[in-house]
Amino acid sequence: MTELQSETASPLAADWPLNPVQVRVWRGDRVESVHRGAWVVVDAGGRALAGDGEPEARVFARSTIKSLQALPLVETGAADRFGLGQRELALALASHNAEPCHTEPVAALLAKLELSASDLRCGAQVPGDPRTRRDLLGSGASPTALHNNCSGKHAGFLTLTRHLGADPASYLDPAGPTQTLVREAIADMCADRGRQLDHATDGCSAPTYHLSLRELATGFARVANPDGLAPERAAACRRMTAAVAAHPELIAGHHKRLCSDLARVTGGRLFPKIGAEGVYCIGEVGADRGLALKLDDGQARGLHALVLGLLERLGWLSTAELEALEAWRPGVLTNWAGLRVGHVEVVA
């Protein structure tokens, strides 16, 4: 049996659904590539309102669930005890570009905790922002864990860990006090506290969870529309959506980041979060609905096109908002000589 045959025959691989085509890439008048995937819109009760593909198939949530991971930070009083404002809360939800507006507040928070970048277990990463990357590497300096796009989330975890009186070195332990509270919050918001959530290790070394698209969409519908939640949970959700509305640039970056642009253009009405490998979730504040989608191939080209295409189809963006987001809409493909060679089409 070949290696490929062995992988295909795996019981885990066999669980992967054959989802419908969501995006086509044309070269001339022929389809050259396709992106398959699934998406679902639900209300805060988890009832499906629209969708395509298999919404019950489980995917790794990756960074989409940072808002859920941050709930215990607010609910336990840790954020208030250590003086976290809207900037720090936005960074706790961020997959940021490591611009100074991202790294400097994280460093300041760590200092307040009597910790440093060496206590972050996310690993060093080259900044995503081109100018910051050029300046850093041009100076001869090396990136640190502060530049990791998840450093804000990890600083939030460490804040919670300090508040709980636990060893900072334990903050990523799935069985430790910090991640136990995080896991329970995710289960509460997406599934139920009694369900055992499967987890694996994310790119930043934190646990990430295996959830269905319907469960992810439910979590986002509830974060954005928390009226039916317990008062403490609802207040925490409102603080997070308010933080993103106030500082959209902090959840991703100033340049060429869809999450920041969606939050900025809509004035915080959309609460978006991207995850690695083609996962994207959005809650619409005040509208009792959440969207979750996953492209099977995990590629950003198809993901960004599908997100904008779905938001337009679903009526979540006004004409003015669509115009402001024109750069993200699927369109013409050109080559290095500037010749039109094809286009990207959203099928969904």
| Tens-digit pLDDT profile for residues 161-171 | 999 999 999 99
CA-based radius of gyration for the chain: 20
Q: Which amino acid is at 234?
A: A
Contact 38, 19 (CB under 8 A): yes
Q: CA-to-CA distance for 94 and 122, rounded, in angstroms?
A: 14
User: pTM of the entire structure?
Assistant: 0.94
Mean pLDDT of 63-67: 98
Domains of the chain, first to last: 3-346 (3.40.710)
Length of the chain: 348
Nearest in space to 62 (alpha carbons), one of 273, 228, 233:
273
Contact 13, 7 (CB under 8 A): yes
- The predicted-structure confidence for 144-195, as pLDDT tens digits, reads as follows 999 999 999 999 999 999 999 999 999 999 999 999 999 999 999 998 767 7
**Residue 127 structure tokens:** 């900044």
Predicted confidence at residue 329, as pLDDT, reads 87
Q: List residues bridging with 58 in a β-sheet.
A: 212
Q: Who has greater pLDDT, 348 or 1?
A: 348
Contact 330, 345 (CB under 8 A): yes
Nearest in space to 232 (alpha carbons), one of 289, 290, 180, 188:
188
Contact 207, 179 (CB under 8 A): yes
User: What rounded mean pLDDT belongs to the chain?
Assistant: 94
**Segment holding 88, helix H or strand E:** helix 86-92
